[in-house]
Structure 1
Amino acid sequence: MTLDTQTYAVTRADLVAYAEASGDHNPIHQDEDVARSVGLPGVIAHGMYTMALAARAVATWFPGAEVVSLGCKFTSPVVVPAEGAVDVVVAGEVKSSEDGLTTVALTVTSAGQKVLGMPKAVVRADG
């Protein structure tokens, strides 16, 4: 079963708010010059923020369900422009559902490129 695609706009203000909440103040997430000096194409979103957007999609698809596990590999950065936003698109497909557990394969992209490798969630519906 294919789930409705979820799209999240990410701005530099979101990165500042995430840095405050998480304590991750690495300048590659806020300073264009620092990001470019280490070989990045520009300021990038925190990997864990990108993963959190995938979790948000799972919570939207399965309201009230317990997320038993959520995992991925960080494969490509989400480059966030100085002005405006970049979209992170989360698609999902139910792969199995047994013993009260549902496994969902995710596809997470930005600017047409996969940004998370092998993202997968397992949820347990309220009983």
Structure 2
Amino acid sequence: MNLFYEDVELGTSHTTPDHRITEADIADFCRLTRDHHPLHTDAEYARDAGFPGIIVHGLYGLSLMEGLKTELHLYDESSIASLGWDKVRFLKPLVAGDVIHVEMDFTAKRESKGRGIVTEAVRLLRGDEVVIDAEHVSLIRKRG
């Protein structure tokens, strides 16, 4: 699937395949971002803070939302830029072993200088439970 501005229908929903988070994923994100807070590296510290073990960085969860959404191939030939993430809420912690997926809906669209701006409601879910809720705005090409 490859959507251009004209193809986007408000209310349309898309769901990604599942993805399992691993301890190695969390460690890799720590290394890449230089965020080695003990909540993400020390299971005992995380347990003392009330979690079952080390937790996923909120920003890693947000990054996964974009990555999983990209695997849908909605904008392979039409994407110009991400204009930003708004209304981001980290609702529940994620831990290694959690299986997640993304659900997204098109909520708004408008033309801008010969291109299109599309707004998506995006949710990261563990089963039926929303873990991260956000809004994403994309700049995409029009046909022709």
User: If the length of structure 1 is used for normalisation, what is the TM-score?
Assistant: 0.85
Unaligned runs of 5+ in 1: none
Number of residue pairs the alignment of both structures matches: 122
Identical aligned residues as a percent: 23
Decide whether the 8 Å contact of 2:110 with 2:117 is kept in 1: yes
2:107 to 81, 87, 95: 95
Query: Structure 2: how far apart are the matches of 1:6 and 1:70?
Result: 22
1:122 and 2:137 correspond = yes
Q: CA RMSD in A?
A: 1.7
> Partner residue of 2:55?
44
Specify the SS of the correspondent of 2:27.
Answer: helix
Query: Structure 1: how far apart are the matches of 2:91 and 2:17?
Result: 20
1:62 and 2:75 correspond = yes
Q: Larger Cα Rg: Structure 1 or Structure 2?
A: 2
Specify the SS of the correspondent of 2:94.
Answer: coil
Specify the SS of the correspondent of 2:67.
Answer: helix
User: If the length of structure 2 is used for normalisation, what is the TM-score?
Assistant: 0.76
Unaligned runs of 5+ in 2: 1-11
